[in-house]
Structure formats: structure tokens, C-alpha cells
Amino acid sequence: MATGAAVIVAPGGGHRELWMDHEGYAVAEFLSSHGVAAFVLKYRLAKQENSTYTVEGTELDDMHRAIRTVRSRSKEWGVDPTRIGVMGFSAGGELAALASTRYDNGQPSSQDPVERFSAKPDFQALLYPAIPQDPRITAETPPAFLACGGNDRPDISQGLPQLYLALTRAHVAAELHIYAGVGHGFGVRKSNPAPVSGWTSLFLDWMNEQGLMKTQGSGR
């Protein structure tokens, strides 16, 4: 049954390619099977050979546009415009983190009606993300679900706990999971062993605790 919540999923790939299967389509299939509308973002790649794009320019614009688009069509798609989040993996996690701290609340004077909608996500899920060097966390930063493997590279396995602490210091609701013996790129795969295979269920539990999983029309 539809919950009214929505997630825009940004796959990883080092800003050079997009790992659309285990960090995109498989994730969206899981979310949609639990009543969460899911949209897989195919963003332009800043580090692809001969690319003229940038992470904080072009790629972030793509994420902003996706958030605005889902919000602008929320009634048509059965989505609550106040429960639209972002989820990113690896490089896509960096993009999701950037979108959660660099946004505007809409441009009322824009000739494009989609641009009049807010680009701020209502929540964020960062899975083994590349962490922005300038996080810009404030009390207005959306609630965060964070997860990575303990055997990931140090900037992630050690940096994500630091990001968690920065969020909590800013009084932002955050939850962190670090899986011992697990490396980078687990995403959603049938071959994932327990307990890392259970991160998706933990994410749904977290969404429920945050009040994001209300069944439409239930008022709950």
C-alpha cells in the first residue's frame, strides 16, 4: 500500500559512470515493494572523460531538478510533497549530501513552474558516501540515515561517524550503522550476507520512526 513517501535514488560510480543496478533499480524495486515511491536519478557525470560538467554545479542541478519535479507532480503521482527524500551511494551519496545542505526553497518569479518548487529534501539516506569537504550542516539539515562498511576506505569508514557527530551536534536527527568486515559498494544485491543485507529493513524502520511511512488516507 502506498505510504505517500518518495525517495530519489542517486547511484554511485565515482562521477565517471552510474552503477544503475545494485545502487539504482534494485533499490527502487525494494522501496516500491514497501509502498515508497522511488525515482532513480541518471545525473550528468563530472569526471567522465572530456566532461565539462561539475559535481556542485551540473550534477547538483540535476538532483535539484529531480526533487522539484517530484514535488511539482506530487498530487499526480500520489506523493506527499513534505515527505520527499534523497538516497545516494558512494559518489551518489556525496550528491545526496550536497542536496541536503545546498538548496533553495523555490524561485517564485521563475518562468518555469517546476523551478518555483522547493529543492530541499525532507530526509536523506547516505550509503558509504563520498563526504563533502564542506558539509555546511545546520539545524535545518534534513534528518539522516547513514550506513557503511567497516572495511571501506578510511575517508568513509572514519568520516561517516564524524558526519554523524556533526549532525547530532546541530540537533539533526541521525542514525548510523557500520557493518564489521564489509567493504564498499554493497548496495542491494541478492548475494549480500547478513547483517549488511538487512540495511534496507533498518532504513524502513528509521523512516517509520521519523513519521515518514504514514499510509495515505490513514492520518497515521
Cα Rg of the chain (Å, integer): 16
CB atoms within 10 A of CB 215: 12
**DSSP state, residue 111:** S
Q: Is 144 within 8 Å of 126 (Cβ atoms)?
A: yes
Give the model's pLDDT for residue 151.
98
Mean pLDDT in each 10-residue stretch from start to end of the chain (220 residues)? 96 98 98 98 98 98 98 97 98 98 95 97 98 95 98 97 98 98 97 96 97 65
Amino acid in position 73: R
How far does Cα 208 stand from its chain's mean position?
A: 16
204: CB partners within 8 A, 6+ apart: 34, 36, 213
Ordered structural domains, the chain, with CATH: 6-209 (3.40.50.1820)
Give the model's pLDDT for residue 219.
44
Q: Provide the whole-model pTM.
A: 0.95
CB-count exposure of residue 66 (10 Å: 0-12, 13-18, 19+): buried
CB atoms within 10 A of CB 170: 14
DSSP, collapsed to helix, strand or coil, labels residue 124 as strand
Give the model's pLDDT for residue 89.
98
Give the model's pLDDT for residue 1.
83
